[in-house]
Structure 1
Amino acid sequence: MSIEYIPQMFWVQIGDLEVPDKMPTFILKYTGKINIALGKPASQSTTWRNFSASRANNGNRASHFSSGSCSHTEHETTNWWQVDLQGMYSIASVFIVNRDTQITGYYGYFLQDIEVHVFQEAPSSGLPNGTVCATHIPAMGANATLQCEAPVIGRYLRIYRRSSETVETPKLVFCEVEVYGRPVTTCGGMWG
C-alpha cells in the first residue's frame, strides 16, 4: 500500500485578479490496498482448544498450525468466523490463508463450501442472513482470494462453512483472513 500526497493550489478571486491562496492544500490519493480487518475484533461460533478467532486476523500469514497463527472451531454443523470492521466499508474481496499449505490436499477440505456474508448491524449467532459477498465451493488450496460479485457495504464480515456434513471435517480452520475494501461515508442517512 502506498499513500501519495498531491499538492493542490487553490486560487482566490480578488477583483479582476486570480491569485494563489496563501496555504497550499494537499489531497490524499489512495494508491494501493489495505487490509481493513487487521487487528479488528474477531469472534467465531466455537473455539477448539486455544485457537481463537483473533489468530486469523493478526497479520501473520504463517500457515503451519504449530505457528500459533491459525483459528479453529469445534466440530459442529454450522461454523462461522467473524470480524467487526468498526466502521462501514464497501467490501470488494477477502483473502484467506489455509492451514498447512504443504499438505492442502487434506486441509483444503476445512475450507470447502464456505460463504462470505456482510452485515450492516451485528448478526445473530444463527444461520447466515447477511448479504452474500462471495462463495467458494471446492476444497481450497494454499490460499484463495474470494472476489465479491459486486462491492457489498457493511460493518461485519462473517465466513460460514455452508456444508451440513457431520463426518470427518465439520470445522472451520484458517490461518489468516484479510478483507479489502474502502470506507464509506454517510450523506443524509444514505450510504455512498
Structure 2
Amino acid sequence: MKANGTEGNLALRRNVTQSSTYGLWFAEKAVDGNPGLVKSWSACSSTTNQTDPWWRLDLRDTYRVTRVIITNINECCAERINGAEIRIGNSLENNGNNNPICAVISSIPAGVSSTYICNNMDGQYVNLIIPGHLRILTLCEVEIYGEGPCLKQTFVKMKLKSSLSLSEAATRVQLLTQLESALAGRGISNVTLRWSQLPKQEVMWKEAAPGE
C-alpha cells in the first residue's frame, strides 16, 4: 500500500454521523475547528442517553492514521468520555464499530486535548464508541493526522463457470461491475477493478446422456 502524501487535520469538515443527537449538538460540531472551550452547546457534538452511543467520520478514502486527538468538554460531565474506544478501518459492519481498536480512552480532564497514537492504522472510517447502557458520547473536537490517500493494488486469480464468452469486452465489463457491487455489499467501496491480462477461456465438454 502506498500513501500519496501527508496532510494536516484530516477530520476537518469531513462527513460525520452519530447514533443519535441531543438537541443542537450535531455530529459536525466535532470537526468544525472550534474546540468548544466556551459555550460547549454551540461547538460540541453529543448523543442522547443510550446504549453503545457512537460517532463516525468518513475520510472518503483509505488513509494511514498516525494519531487521533480528542478534546473533551470543558464544563460538567467530563467523565462521560471514559471508556470510549477509537476504532479505525474500512468496514461498515455494525456501523463501523467492529473495526480494529486504536486506543481506549481511560479519561480526559475537562477542556483538555489528549493524543492517541494509532501506529499507522489504515482505514476510511474513524469511529468513537462507548460500550454500555445509558451512556452519552460528547465530543468537542476530533482531529485526525496521517498520510494518504493510500493506493492499494491486489491481484486476484479466479476460475469462473459460465456459458458466457469472456473474450467479449461487454462480458468482462459486466463481470467487474458485479464484483464491485459484491465488494460494496461487504463495506469495501472506492475500489477500481480492471483486468491485468485478458482472461483465458477453457471449453468443457459434457457427454450427452443416452437418448439425447
TM (norm. structure 1) is: 0.70
> Where does residue 117 of structure 2 map in the other structure?
147
TM-superposition CA deviations, 1:35-72 (whole Å, max 9, x none): 00111000001000121100100111232344611001
Relative to structure 1, the CA distance from residue 43 to residue 125 in structure 2 (aligned partners, 3 Å threshold; closer, same or farther) is same
Measure how far apart 1:189 and its partner are: 2.6
> Where does residue 156 of structure 1 map in the other structure?
125
> Where does residue 36 of structure 1 map in the other structure?
10
> Where does residue 121 of structure 1 map in the other structure?
91
Q: Which 4+ runs in 1 deviate beyond 6 A?
A: none
What percent of counterpart residues are identical? 26
* Ranges in structure 1 where 5+ consecutive residues have no aligned partner: 1-27
Partners of 1:97 and 1:46 in 2: CA distance = 20
> Where does residue 26 of structure 2 map in the other structure?
52
Local SS of the residue matching 1:124: helix
Partners of 1:73 and 1:29 in 2: CA distance = 34
TM-superposition CA deviations, 1:111-156 (whole Å, max 9, x none): 1001111121334338x310111111235442211112x2210001
| Partners of 2:10 and 2:146 within 8 A in 1 | yes
| Partners of 2:18 and 2:55 within 8 A in 1 | yes
> Where does residue 171 of structure 1 map in the other structure?
136
Relative to structure 1, the CA distance from residue 165 to residue 29 in structure 2 (aligned partners, 3 Å threshold; closer, same or farther) is closer
Q: Would you tell me which structure has more helix in proportion to its own residues?
A: 2
> Where does residue 131 of structure 1 map in the other structure?
100
Local SS of the residue matching 1:55: helix
Among residues 79, 82, 97, which one is paired with 1:109 in the alignment?
Answer: 79
Partners of 1:143 and 1:153 in 2: CA distance = 23
Local SS of the residue matching 2:77: helix
* Structure 1 letter corresponding to 2:139: F
Q: For the pair shown, which has the larger CA radius of gyration, 1 or 2?
A: 2
Q: Would you tell me which structure has more strand in proportion to its own residues?
A: 1
TM-superposition CA deviations, 1:60-100 (whole Å, max 9, x none): 12323446110010001201111001111001111111112
TM-superposition CA deviations, 1:168-189 (whole Å, max 9, x none): xx20112110011110432423
* Structure 1 letter corresponding to 2:10: I
Partners of 1:123 and 1:58 in 2: CA distance = 27
Partners of 2:133 and 2:108 in 1: CA distance = 14
TM (norm. structure 2) is: 0.64
* Structure 1 letter corresponding to 2:87: H
Relative to structure 1, the CA distance from residue 123 to residue 58 in structure 2 (aligned partners, 3 Å threshold; closer, same or farther) is farther
Aligned CA-pair RMSD: 2.3
Number of positions where the alignment pairs a residue of Structure 1 with one of Structure 2 = 151
Matches within 5 A, 1:2-17: none
Local SS of the residue matching 1:34: coil
* Structure 2 letter corresponding to 1:147: I
Partners of 1:173 and 1:182 in 2: CA distance = 27
